[in-house]
Chain A
Amino acid sequence: MKRRSLPLAARTVFATGLVGVLVGSVFVVMLLAVSALREAERREARSRDVTVSTLALEKLVLDMQAGVRGFVITGDKRFQTPLITAQRELPQALDELQRLVAESPSQRKRVRLLGQEIRDYRDVYAIPIVNIAETNRAAAGSPAAVAEDKRLIDSIRMKFSHLLDAEEGLASQSAQSADERWTAALVLGIGGLIALAAAMLAFGVYLARSIARPVREVAGAATRLADGHLEERLNEGGPGEIGDLTRAFNAMAENLQRSRQELEAQNEQLRESERMKSELVSIVSHELRTPLASVLGFTSLLLTRDFDEETRHRYLGIIDAQARRLGALIDDFLDARRLEQGRLELGRDRVEVAPLLREQAELFRGQSERHRLTVEVPRKPLAVRGDRDRLAQVIGNLLSNAIKYSPEGGVVELVGEDDDGVIRVAVRDQGVGIPDDQQSQIFTRFFRGDAAASGIGGTGLGLAVSREIVEAHGGRIGFNSAEREGSTFWVELPAADRRKKENG
Chain B
Amino acid sequence: MTRARTILICEDEPALRELIRVSVGGGFEFIEASDGVEALELAKTQNPDVVVLDLMIPGLSGLDVLAQLRQEESGREVPVIVISAWSDARDESFAAGADRFVLKPFVPDDLRAVVEELVA
A residues with CB within 8 A of B: 282, 285-286, 289-290, 292-298, 300-301, 304, 318, 321-322, 404, 407, 453-457
Stretch at the interface among B1-9, B10-18, B41-49, B68-76: B10-18
Given contacts A286-B56, A301-B23, A455-B57, contact A321 B85 (CB under 8 A): no
Q: Separation in Å of the A412 CB from the closest CB of chain B?
A: 16
Q: Is B58 within 8 A of A300, CB to CB?
A: no
User: CB distance A322 to B15 under 8 Å?
Assistant: yes
User: When the two chains form their complex, are residues A286 and B19 in contact, meaning their CB atoms are under 8 A apart?
Assistant: no
* Total B residues in contact with A, Cβ cutoff 8 Å: 26
| Contact of B59 with A407 in the complex, beta carbons under 8 Å | yes
CA distance A290 to B55 in the complex (A): 12
A433 to B91 Cα, complex, angstroms: 32
- Let me know if A294 and B58 touch, CB within 8 A: no
**A282 contact set on B, CB distance < 8 A:** 86
**Out of A286, A407, A454, which one reaches B85, CB within 8 Å?**
A286
Are A301 and B22 within 8 A (Cβ)?
yes
Contact across chains for B13 and A294 when beta carbons are under 8 A apart: yes
The residue in chain B whose Cβ has the minimal distance to the Cβ of A300 is: B108
**Chain B at the A interface: mostly helix, strand, loop or mixed?**
loop
Q: Does B120 contact A (CB under 8 A)?
A: no
The minimal Cβ–Cβ distance linking A47 to chain B, given in whole angstroms, is 124
Residues of B contacting A404 in the complex (Cβ-Cβ under 8 angstroms): 58
The A interface is mostly helix, strand or loop, or mixed, namely helix
19 further A-B contacts with Cβ under 8 Å, apart from A294-B19, A296-B107, A453-B61, are A285-B85, A289-B105, A290-B13, A290-B56, A290-B104, A294-B13, A294-B15, A297-B106, A300-B107, A300-B109, A301-B108, A318-B18, A404-B58, A407-B35, A407-B58, A407-B59, A455-B35, A455-B55, A455-B62
In the A-B complex, the 5 residue pairs with the smallest Cβ-Cβ separation, listed nearest first, are A289-B85, A293-B105, A407-B58, A293-B104, A297-B19
For A290, A297, A318, the residue with the greatest tally of chain B CB atoms inside 10 Å of its CB is: A297
**CB-based nearest A residue for B35:** A407
5 A-B pairs whose Cβ atoms sit less than 8 Å apart in the complex: A293-B105, A318-B18, A454-B58, A455-B61, A455-B62
Give the one of B19, B55, B86 with max A CB within 10 A.
B19
Pick from A285, A293, A318 the residue with the most CB of B within 10 Å: A293
Most chain A CB atoms below 10 A, which of B13, B22, B108: B108
Residues on A with C-beta less than 8 A from B108 are: 297, 300-301, 304
Contact status of A290 and B16, CB under 8 A, knowing A282-B86, A297-B106: yes
Q: Verify A457–B105 contact, CB threshold 8 A.
A: no
Q: Is B36 an interface residue (CB 8 A)?
A: yes
Return the contact of B104 from the options A289, A407, A454, A457 (Cβ within 8 A).
A289
Beyond A289-B85, A457-B56, whether A297 also contacts B61 by CB under 8 A is: no
Q: Are A304 and B19 in contact (CB under 8 A)?
A: no
- For A407, the chain B residues whose CB sits under 8 A away are 35, 58-59
- Given the known interface contacts A301-B108, A407-B35, A455-B12, the answer about A293 and B19 at a Cβ–Cβ threshold of 8 Å is yes
**Complex: how many Å from CA A455 to CA B58?**
4
